[in-house]
Structure 1
């Protein structure tokens, strides 16, 4: 192993994360043959195969699973060293890895663009995932900072709330419940719901709402994206529960409608999350301050009028 390179470890970690040579090559801006070569060289240093190959499918061997733990530790230590060096230089340069839940993409892309305009020397790497996936990426040091709704319980992670995050029940404009000026939670008992997958913060908030009301909802369709849920709701397949920050365009165009349900909006908070022990690079600190100082006002300008309609 003493002849293994950091590049080989990075390639190995990326292939293991996606279990795909092609995806790893795309993310690392390499060709698939180059990725294959790096893995073969690392396997020759280890003396054992790291992946099992069955046709086009690959999986980690037992050796690969052990090696992945140490590879990630090495890469995390290297990243920390780079961040400390950048801090000592006082330069806002280098790579900034930002993770965020898919619900946040409706405002984060514009905010990241504004941040980039102020910090042109920073190279950005963006990673989308659900809440549980982002917690894992933070713990393995694969992202520097993350934006999510429900804060993590893990004690090694620090969550800083930066803006209100309202959630509402939505339906197709022709749904019969829209004829009611005010709905009780009981009115939803027999309705069909379209929900996000387990591990999603939106799914957890919806489940807690019904648990508090001691109602077991009818979860009929499970989908893995807000966009697909919106399409299903607009098609009349059921009622959805979504962040108000994801439905601005559809509300403005009259393609989707909010249900006026007692106890809603369910207001959570947007959180900025990073590890307690990690020394934040100047770029990460700059992004942290940018979000904490500007995000709340930005969201109020973009979505505040819809919130007022619901109150």
Structure 2
């Protein structure tokens, strides 16, 4: 069989002849002349290399090769119908694959949102990449993902960033720390305490460093850690104080059992989360639906420490 000369049109004519039971019936349904249909069948038989029909008592019958070809033609038609439905779903955003990359702190925001999105759009597959800011910036520059979540978005003409939710930063301390008992504090009273900090370049660290610079003050003792979870557990253990996003803190009831949020003048520091896309990266409909879904759900977020 020479597949190079096999076409969908030939298969369509063949399938119609089989289903109508005659060349005359097929030509009428296809709006073709009978000689044209006969010629198409002859050409198809030459491509297959086998006769496809024979006559038995003046009735058109399929040969063994014709039976196999008809089954194949039916399979192809079903797959094309399935493809058409899948393409329609992709165009409407009801199916597809999305890549989402977020900085470490943002992972605390997303589980419930992604679970709700999965429930609403079960045919959409979301791949989540989590890393430090430097790693996610690298992915952004290489346009590896459809959407990104940053607290400090990258800059440049190729950046489309939308503020989606506040990201207040609080100073937390061990429950029994002396500062936990104070109704109000000035930051100068804490400068000799050990602060547990994220790595340089992280959004929380950048915001805190900028604030320290604006206040013309500096820390005397600090310890660097790579994750918010390590910092939070270390504060609970009494290793030091920390500046953490409200999104990384446990619910208010559990928070009071583990940590103390200090009442320091100038805090919480104001920050926001930004949903970012690369200007050169076209978003498929499914990614646009996820973008809207994230924006809609995060807009309802309320800082539990301000309620």
**Fold equivalence (TM over 0.5):** yes
Query: Please, what TM-score do these two structures have when normalized by structure 2?
Result: 0.68
Contact 2:192 2:221 in 1 (8 A): no
Contact 2:90 2:285 in 1 (8 A): no
Contact 2:89 2:95 in 1 (8 A): no
Q: Deviations over 1:144-193 (max 9, x none)?
A: 10111112123311110011111100000011112221111211221110
Partner of 1:291: 294
For residue 228 of structure 1, the aligned residue among 227, 230, 235 is: 230
Partner of 1:76: none
Using a 3 Å threshold, how does the CA distance of structure 1 residues 285 and 219 change in structure 2: closer, same or farther?
farther
**Cα distance in structure 2, aligned partners of 1:224 and 1:124:** 26
Partner of 1:182: 184
Using a 3 Å threshold, how does the CA distance of structure 1 residues 174 and 88 change in structure 2: closer, same or farther?
closer
SS where residue 146 of structure 1 aligns?
Answer: strand
Question: Number of aligned pairs?
Answer: 220
SS where residue 165 of structure 2 aligns?
Answer: strand
Partner of 2:100: 98
Q: Which 5+ residue runs of structure 2 have no aligned equivalent?
A: 1-86
Using a 3 Å threshold, how does the CA distance of structure 1 residues 228 and 88 change in structure 2: closer, same or farther?
closer
Partner of 1:144: 146
For residue 274 of structure 2, the aligned residue among 271, 275, 284 is: 271
**Cα distance in structure 2, aligned partners of 1:120 and 1:262:** 46
**Cα distance in structure 2, aligned partners of 1:88 and 1:240:** 45
Contact 1:92 1:121 in 2 (8 A): yes
SS where residue 281 of structure 2 aligns?
Answer: coil
Range moving further from structure 2, 210-219 or 266-275: 210-219
Query: Please, what TM-score do these two structures have when normalized by structure 1?
Result: 0.67
- CA RMSD in angstroms comes to 1.9
TM-superposed deviation, 1:210: 0.9
Using a 3 Å threshold, how does the CA distance of structure 1 residues 221 and 280 change in structure 2: closer, same or farther?
same
Partner of 2:249: 247
Partner of 2:305: 306
Contact 1:148 1:270 in 2 (8 A): yes
**Cα distance in structure 1, aligned partners of 2:221 and 2:156:** 29
1:261 aligned onto 2:264: yes
SS where residue 270 of structure 2 aligns?
Answer: strand
SS where residue 248 of structure 1 aligns?
Answer: coil
Contact 2:252 2:305 in 1 (8 A): no
Q: Deviations over 1:241-276 (max 9, x none)?
A: 000111124762510110111001112111000011
**Cα distance in structure 1, aligned partners of 2:105 and 2:120:** 25
Q: Which 5+ residue runs of structure 1 have no aligned equivalent?
A: 1-84
**Cα distance in structure 2, aligned partners of 1:249 and 1:89:** 39
SS where residue 205 of structure 1 aligns?
Answer: helix
**Cα distance in structure 1, aligned partners of 2:222 and 2:178:** 18
**Cα distance in structure 2, aligned partners of 1:296 and 1:88:** 26
